[in-house]
């Protein structure tokens, strides 16, 4: 596999995981704009686990677990607590960014040196198993939503929560479960970043990917399979940046940095934003 | 939001304070320090000396403005999460325009700040357009614009705006004559803080005492009713959106003019998001938001001293505002449900 | 019925089933125990297909199910209950209201409940569909299930049911076997039980006189030409042409969901429309602009006073000052207060102080406040949707008389209501709206029974 394609897939995997989790949550009717913070939590947990001797796969599991807890905490505020999820998400980003920076400093001390961790071993095409598996997650989400009973309940929670309640379901329970899953997936996305792309933790290692993942969900019109082309597009832009930079290109650095964000904005404009959004997105549970 | 009973306000404040206290104590213990030492260092760093107070007020300048901007937007029902990017837009304008302005220092400052406010307001336009014509939620587009702005700053300080006098990622410095003199020797605070607080007052007057403010509040409190009653719903929202962007841009301009003298990368230290947190803590009242902003600025000033003296990482200053907001949101939501 | 199905808690008394007391904590338990309630509002997932919706509603659906199995269920249920359910892959929100109702009923029946409660199921069904539904309900009853039908249509009660209980104002008025009574007796009891309500009878309507008084005005206050609202999810409305002169009042009588409130909202600029709407001769933009409607002299009283009528969190004086509060630079609070006090007492609204929050008023007073605001500037046209819904008798009478007062001063009014008694109390011409079609203009003195039949879609 050519270097460019491999790097694109590598960069797309964290985005895909985080976006898939967020898609589940939004289809259920909630929204977590603090996804960036959850990814940071996952990234730091993986880093900390790896530094304390765990192997890369164990670090992934630790991150997933931290993500589960994060998702549960978010749901406590924004679902069961009925606080506005957007506002909770904003505060969440502060707590997570500050919390991971705080913890990193305690872990790493005041030294400025970079602490490396062991990366995930490659399985095929030079890519680790976890990265390859990430591409199957959207498929799993699609099957879950389209073919299973709990999936239908989740769709109902996002489209017509009163109907779910009328047939005896609990909107709070469904949305909380979705949040827990979204937390785990987001954290795994962050963990992948630390265990593959940049084998260390720095403040801001996620570099806005959590926000890009939010845009990907809208761009995919909340349909899981459509997350893949979007993630590849954004990741491709970043891979292009690395390639052209390495090749001594004269195109300003900033264009590449801005490219993912600009691409996401244009994609949103093209797909008319709200079309296909779950009807009850962002509304409190009845 | 405007008519909470005294009992409710007390309950919410109590929740917030206990959460903050718990966070402070917990974080200090995690860092292996006595909470007393940590809080004492924090307090000294924030207000223990003239220099410390100066630092707090210097940091508060930008935060007060972004907090007031966020309040205006939220009161109109506009979820402007892009204050960070609008702040940067203002800073870029100030750094670009500043070194070029000739004439009296006063005129130069006025021109620079006007450019900064305009840049902030303009940075809102793509998001407003996408929302009005394409149905893209402004939460999303403003956040993405933050990313684009940060990238733009990164590029500009290494390219078009770079100070030719060296190879650092920073812009040309503003001429000393244009920059505001510090109010107290040895600190970074300038008259800019007074501008910020004046604007907070102005925003409060606007909301509570003008016809425009009443219409704005109605639009934010009951958008469906506002439309049915015959208020120019879309125009009011856009004006609030643009005003909040202008305030954030002004904050960026003042940061360059009064505090740093030039643009560098990274520039914001979260001024936009922290401003939003201050607004939320203050219930989207401009004055309460401004007060919360000063509090957060104090935390920021104190935390570097605290980190130096006790080893408790300064990131505490980012955690505590987040915890406060979460506590307030949870308490308010809980009380609202009980009342219903 | 909501209490029985576990959705509300009972305050007193008990529910017996098969002789033993039962109480369901929530709807899920009730469903498991074989008791299902099909309420009036939409229970479907709009964005999902018919097949997916029925899988959602079917308690016996498996954890994992293939698309074919889901599609098969649609056919199976359609056949078993004789209901036309539409194509299995069709999106639910693209289907007409009647089909959606049938899908909900099919979903309820799918679980084979032994107690089935249906709340106004035939409100939007055609006579044929109604007959088919009753046939399948009869089959279920014969198989041992108990079916409770909540309806206001006497024809259905007498055509298809075994026993009836008449409820009026929260009380049980009569319980008997259908064979022991007649439609006339029940109809009479229905009318008589409206205690204290003014009886509709021949009214001396002065509306024609008012219209004549203003007939010198060159332009009609409201003119609709080839008008139809353009709302995707609502009932398709036929093109309407009508005009109202100053002082003229027209009542549109319709059961919810038949298109009358959509017509009203589109005129007021809150929905898109096709065709032409002119208020005082000024054409309104078809994309829907409430500001243009108002600028032309329109006033609007929405159905939902809490959501769209008032800003509950603002004070009374602030609400009454909207949309154009007085004051050039600063808000003239003194003028607002004075204006509020004048309006509030002119409309007989009980309030603590003008600074009290609008949300603190009772329903009746809130509605009066909305009217007070809307009528403050002598509008040319008033559009009011369900203006007395949920109000006590005295408030309802007060609201009606305010509207009639406005007509006497020259305002043309279009009132939408779902209550035939109320429609007649206006003493004005009325038109019944069913499935988006307007009937001919009827006299206010038209018998209630005729109105009921028209509203039910049966010919008078």
Domains located in chain A, CATH noted: 14-270 (1.10.3470)
Backbone angles phi, psi at C249, to 5 degrees: -125, 130
Residue ranges of alpha helices (H) inside C22-83 are: 27-32, 50-57, 67-81
- How far is C426 from C409, CA to CA, in rounded Å? 16
Q: Let me know: does B117 contact A254? Beta carbons within 8 Å.
A: no
Inter-chain residue contact B333 with A83, CB threshold 8 Å:
yes
Mean pLDDT in residue range C61-81: 89
User: CA–CA separation, A176 vs A37, rounded Å?
Assistant: 18
Which tokens go with C392?
A: 């006590």
Q: What is the mean pLDDT of residues C340-365?
A: 88
The C-alpha atoms of residue A218 and residue B31 are separated, in whole angstroms, by: 41
> What pLDDT, on a 0 to 100 scale, did the predictor assign at position A186?
97
Residue of B nearest to A85 (CA): B329
In chain C, how many H helices and how many E strands? Answer: 16, 17
Tokens of A136: 């199957």
**Is B325 part of the contact surface with chain A (CB cutoff 8 Å)?**
yes
Residue of A93, A264, A274 with shortest CB distance to B137: A274
Provide the strand spans (E) within C269-334.
273-279, 282-283, 298-301
Q: Which of C46, C66, C67 minimises the CB distance to A159?
A: C46
Within its chain, how far is the Cα of A214 from the centroid? 8
Query: CA-CA distances (angstroms) from residue C339 to C305, C318, C319, C353?
Result: 21, 10, 11, 13
Q: A252 to chain B: which residues are within 8 Å by CB?
A: 155, 158-159
- Render pLDDT for C73-108 as a digit per residue (tens, 0 to 9): 999 888 877 777 888 898 888 887 778 888 888 888
Secondary structure (3-state) at C169: coil
Radius of gyration over every alpha carbon of chain A, rounded to an integer in angstroms: 19
Q: How far apart are CA B232 and CA B215, in angstroms?
A: 9
pLDDT at C197: 42
B1 is a domain residue? no
**Amino acid C23: pLDDT:** 60
Say if residues C76 and C86 touch (Cβ distance below 8 Å). no
For the record, the structure tokens of C167 come out as 């409820």
**How many interchain CB pairs under 8 A, B with C?**
71
Coil, strand or helix at C357: strand
Q: For every one of its 340 residues, what pLDDT tens digit does chain B have, with 9 covering 90 and above?
A: 445 578 888 888 899 999 999 999 999 998 888 888 888 899 988 888 888 888 899 899 999 999 999 999 999 999 999 999 999 999 999 999 888 877 788 888 888 999 999 999 999 999 999 988 888 888 889 999 999 999 899 888 887 778 777 777 788 788 777 777 777 666 777 888 999 999 999 999 999 999 999 999 999 999 999 999 999 999 999 999 999 999 999 999 999 988 888 888 888 778 999 999 999 999 999 999 999 999 999 999 999 889 888 888 989 999 999 999 999 999 999 888 887 6
Place of tokens 């939003």: B276
What pLDDT was estimated at residue B261? Answer: 84
Q: Does residue B225 belong to the interface with chain A, where contact is any CB pair within 8 Å?
A: no
Q: pLDDT per residue over A205-219, tens digit each?
A: 888 899 999 989 988
- What's the pLDDT band for A248 if we cut at 50, 70, 90? low
Closest among C90, C100, C433, A83 to B12, alpha carbons compared: A83
Q: Is C233 on the interface with A (CB under 8 A)?
A: no
Chain centroid offset of residue C395 CA: 19
- The larger pLDDT score, comparing residue A61 to residue C1, is at A61
Let me know if residue B88 belongs to a domain: yes
Kindly report the nearest CA distance between residue B224 and chain C, in angstroms: 5
Q: Is residue B329 part of a domain?
A: yes
Q: Are C323 and C294 in contact (CB under 8 A)?
A: yes
Question: What distance in Å separates the CA atoms of residue C371 and residue C365, rounded to the nearest whole number?
Answer: 10
- Write down the pLDDT at residue C460: 42
Considering only the beta carbons, identify the residue of C268, C300, C313 that sits closest to B221.
Answer: C313
Q: Is B281 exposed, middle or buried (0-12, 13-18, 19+ CB in 10 A)?
A: buried
pTM of the model: 0.86
Q: Is residue B335 part of a domain?
A: yes
| Cross-chain residue pair B315–A98, CB shorter than 8 Å | yes
- When divided into structural domains, chain B yields a total of 1
List Cβ neighbours of B339 (8 Å cut-off, separation of 6 or more). Answer: none
Which of helix, strand or coil describes residue C205?
coil
Sign for the pseudo-dihedral over CA of B218, B219, B224, B230: positive
C130-187 tens-digit pLDDT: 777 788 788 778 878 888 887 766 667 777 788 888 776 667 777 888 788 777 777 6
Expressed as residue numbers, the domain containing B216 is 6-339
pLDDT of residue C21: 57
- Distance separating alpha carbons of residues C296 and B307, to the nearest angstrom: 66
Positive or negative, the CA dihedral A196, A197, A198, A204 is negative
Chain A residues whose beta carbon lies within 8 Å of the beta carbon of residue B273:
90, 93-94
Q: Please report the DSSP string for B151-187 in residue order.
A: HHHHHHTTTTTB-TTSSSSBBPPPPTTTSPPBSSTTS
Contact A103, B334 (CB under 8 A): no
Chain B, residues 219-238, CB within 8 A of chain C, namely 221-222, 224-232
Which CATH architecture does the domain made up of C207-455 adopt?
3-Layer(aba) Sandwich (3.40)
Closest CA to C296 of C309, C286, C282: C282
Q: How confident is the model at residue C7 (pLDDT cuts 50, 70, 90)?
A: very low
Q: Tell the residue number behind the tokens 């994992």, with chain if given.
A: C64
d(CA C320, CA C340): 6
The reply to whether residue A258 touches residue B147, judged by beta carbons under 8 angstroms, is yes
Mutate to test the interface with B, among A36, A97, A98, A259 (most CBs of B within 10 A): A98
Question: How far out from the chain centre does Cα C44 lie?
Answer: 19
For residue C323, the chain B residues in CB contact (below 8 A) are 215, 229-231
Three-class SS of residue A136? Answer: coil
Which tokens go with C385? 């949707």
- Give the domain CATH number at B311: 1.10.3470
| Stronger pLDDT, C195 or C242, i.e. the higher one | C242
- Give the percent of chain C with pLDDT over 70: 79
Query: Which residue in chain C is spatially nearest to A152 when comparing CA positions?
Result: C56
* Chains A, B: CB pairs < 8 Å: 165
Q: Which chain C residues contact residue A146 at CB under 8 A? A: 52
CB contact A279 to B (< 8 Å): no
Residue B24 phi, psi (nearest 5): -60, -50
**Identity of the highest mean pLDDT range in A119-123, A182-186, C9-13, C142-146:** A182-186
- Give me the architecture of the C15-161 domain, per CATH: 3-Layer(aba) Sandwich (3.40)
For chain C, residues classed under CATH 3.40.50.300 are: 15-161, 207-455
B49 part of a folded domain: yes
The answer to whether B134 contacts A268, with C-beta atoms less than 8 Å apart, is: yes
**C-alpha to C-alpha distance for A162 and C307, rounded to whole angstroms:** 18
Cβ contacts (< 8 Å) between B317 and chain A: which residues? 98
Q: Report the distance separating Cα C300 and Cα C308, nearest Å.
A: 10
Report how far apart the first and last C-alpha atoms of chain C are (Å, whole number).
Answer: 31
Cα-Cα-Cα-Cα dihedral sign, residues B116, B122, B126, B130: positive
More confident residue, C43 or A179: A179
pLDDT band at residue A201 under the 50/70/90 scheme: confident
Nearest to C27 among A148, A155, A168 (CB): A168
d(CA C2, CA C9): 8
């Amino acid at each position: 596999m050519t270097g460019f394609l491999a790097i694109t897939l590598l960069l797309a995997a964290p985005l895909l995981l985080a976006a898939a989790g967020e898609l589940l949550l939004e289809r259920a009717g909630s929204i977590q704009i603090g996804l960036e913070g959850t990814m940071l939590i996952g990234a730091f947990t993986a880093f900390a686990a790896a530094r304390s001797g765990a192997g890369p796969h164990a670090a992934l599991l630790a991150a997933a677990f931290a993500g589960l807890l994060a998702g549960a905490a978010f749901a406590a505020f924004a679902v069961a607590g009925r606080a506005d999820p957007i506002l909770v998400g904003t505060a969440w980003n502060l707590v997570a960014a500050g919390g991971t920076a705080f913890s990193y400093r305690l872990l790493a001390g005041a030294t400025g040196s970079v602490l490396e961790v062991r990366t995930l071993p490659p399985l095929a095409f030079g890519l680790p198993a976890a990265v390859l598996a990430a591409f199957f997650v959207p498929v799993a989400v699609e099957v879950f939503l389209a073919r299973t009973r709990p999936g239908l309940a989740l769709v109902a929670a996002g489209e017509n929560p009163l109907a779910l309640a009328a047939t005896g379901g609990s909107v709070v329970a469904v949305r909380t479960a979705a949040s827990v899953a979204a937390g785990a997936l987001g954290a795994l996305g962050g963990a992948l970043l630390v265990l593959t792309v940049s084998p260390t933790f720095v403040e801001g290692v996620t570099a806005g990917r959590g926000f890009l993942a939010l845009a990907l969900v809208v761009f995919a019109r909340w349909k899981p399979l459509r997350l893949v082309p979007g993630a590849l597009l954004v990741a491709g832009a970043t891979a292009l940046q690395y390639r052209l930079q390495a090749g001594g290109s004269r195109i300003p650095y900033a264009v590449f940095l801005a490219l993912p964000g600009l691409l996401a904005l244009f994609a949103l404009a093209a797909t008319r934003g709200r079309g296909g959004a779950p009807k009850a997105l962002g509304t409190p549970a009845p | 939001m405007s008519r909470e009973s005294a009992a409710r306000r007390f309950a919410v404040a109590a929740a917030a304070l206990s959460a903050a206290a718990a966070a402070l104590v917990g974080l200090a213990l995690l860092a292996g320090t006595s909470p007393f030492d940590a809080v004492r260092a924090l307090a000294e760093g924030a207000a223990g000396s003239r220099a410390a107070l100066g630092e707090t007020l210097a940091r508060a300048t930008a935060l007060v403005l972004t907090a007031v901007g966020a309040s205006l937007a939220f009161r109109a029902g506009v979820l402007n999460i892009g204050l960070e990017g609008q702040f940067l837009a203002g800073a870029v304008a100030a750094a670009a325009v500043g070194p070029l302005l000739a004439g009296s220092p006063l005129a130069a400052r006025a021109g620079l700040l006007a450019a900064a406010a305009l840049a902030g307001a303009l940075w809102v336009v793509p998001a407003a357009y996408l929302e009005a014509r394409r149905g893209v939620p402004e939460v999303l587009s403003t956040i993405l614009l933050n990313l684009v702005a940060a990238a733009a700053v990164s590029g500009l300080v290494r390219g078009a705006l770079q100070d030719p006098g060296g190879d650092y990622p920073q812009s040309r410095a503003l001429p000393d004559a244009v920059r505001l003199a510090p109010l107290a020797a040895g600190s970074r605070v300038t008259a800019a803080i007074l501008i910020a607080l004046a604007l907070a007052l102005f925003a409060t007057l606007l909301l509570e005492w003008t016809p425009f403010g009443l219409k704005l509040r109605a639009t934010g409190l009951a958008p469906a009713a506002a439309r049915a009653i015959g208020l120019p719903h879309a125009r009011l929202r856009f004006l609030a959106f643009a005003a909040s962007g202008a305030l954030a841009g002004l904050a960026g301009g003042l940061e360059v003019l009064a505090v740093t003298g030039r643009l560098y990368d990274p520039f914001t230290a979260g001024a936009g998001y922290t401003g939003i947190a201050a607004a939320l803590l203050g219930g989207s009242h401009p004055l309460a938001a401004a007060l919360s902003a000063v509090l957060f600025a104090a935390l920021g000033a104190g935390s570097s001293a605290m980190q130096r003296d006790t080893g408790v990482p300064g990131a505490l200053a980012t955690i505590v505002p987040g915890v406060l907001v979460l506590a307030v949101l949870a308490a308010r939501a809980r009380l609202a449900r009980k009342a219903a | 019925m909501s209490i029985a199905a576990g959705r509300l808690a009972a305050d007193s008394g008990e529910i017996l089933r098969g002789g033993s007391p039962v109480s369901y904590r929530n709807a899920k338990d009730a469903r498991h125990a074989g008791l299902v309630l099909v309420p009036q509002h939409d229970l479907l997932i709009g964005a999902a297909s018919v097949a997916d919706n029925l899988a959602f509603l079917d308690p016996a659906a498996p954890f994992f199910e293939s698309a074919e199995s889901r599609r098969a269920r649609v056919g199976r249920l359609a056949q078993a209950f004789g209901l036309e359910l539409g194509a299995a892959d069709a999106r639910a929100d693209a289907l007409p209201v009647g089909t959606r109702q049938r899908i909900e009923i099919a979903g309820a029946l799918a679980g084979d409940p032994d107690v089935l409660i249906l709340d106004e199921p035939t409100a939007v069904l055609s006579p044929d569909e109604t007959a088919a539904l009753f046939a399948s309900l009869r089959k279920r009853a014969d198989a041992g299930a108990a079916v409770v039908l909540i309806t206001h249509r006497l024809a259905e009660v007498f055509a298809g049911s075994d026993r009836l209980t008449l409820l009026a104002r929260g009380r049980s008025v009569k319980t008997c076997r259908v064979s022991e009574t007649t439609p006339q007796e029940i109809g009479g009891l229905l009318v008589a039980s409206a205690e204290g309500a003014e009886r509709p009878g021949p009214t001396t309507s002065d509306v024609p006189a008012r219209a004549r008084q203003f007939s010198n005005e060159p332009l009609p206050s409201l003119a609709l030409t080839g008008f139809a609202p353009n709302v995707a999810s609502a009932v398709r409305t036929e093109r309407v042409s009508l005009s109202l002169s100053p002082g003229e009042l027209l009542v549109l009588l319709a059961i919810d969901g038949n298109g009358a409130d959509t017509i009203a909202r589109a005129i007021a600029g809150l929905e898109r429309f096709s065709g032409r709407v002119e208020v005082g001769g000024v054409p309104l933009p078809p994309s829907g602009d409430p500001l243009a409607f108002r600028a032309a002299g329109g006033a609007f009283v929405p159905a939902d006073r809490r959501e769209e009528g008032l800003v509950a969190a603002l004070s009374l004086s602030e609400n009454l000052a909207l949309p154009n509060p007085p004051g050039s630079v600063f808000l003239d609070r003194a003028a607002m207060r004075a204006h509020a006090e004048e309006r509030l007492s002119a409309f007989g609204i009980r309030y603590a102080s003008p600074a009290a929050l609008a949300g603190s008023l009772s329903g009746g007073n809130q509605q009066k406040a909305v009217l007070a605001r809307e009528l403050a500037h002598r509008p040319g046209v008033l559009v009011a949707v369900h203006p007395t819904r949920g109000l006590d008798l005295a408030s309802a009478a007060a609201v009606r008389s305010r509207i009639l007062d406005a007509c006497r001063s020259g305002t043309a009014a279009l009132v939408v209501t779902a209550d035939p008694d109320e429609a007649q109390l206006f003493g004005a011409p009325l038109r019944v709206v069913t499935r988006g079609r307007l009937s001919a203009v009827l006299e206010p003195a038209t018998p209630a029974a005729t109105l009921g039949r028209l509203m039910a879609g049966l010919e008078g």
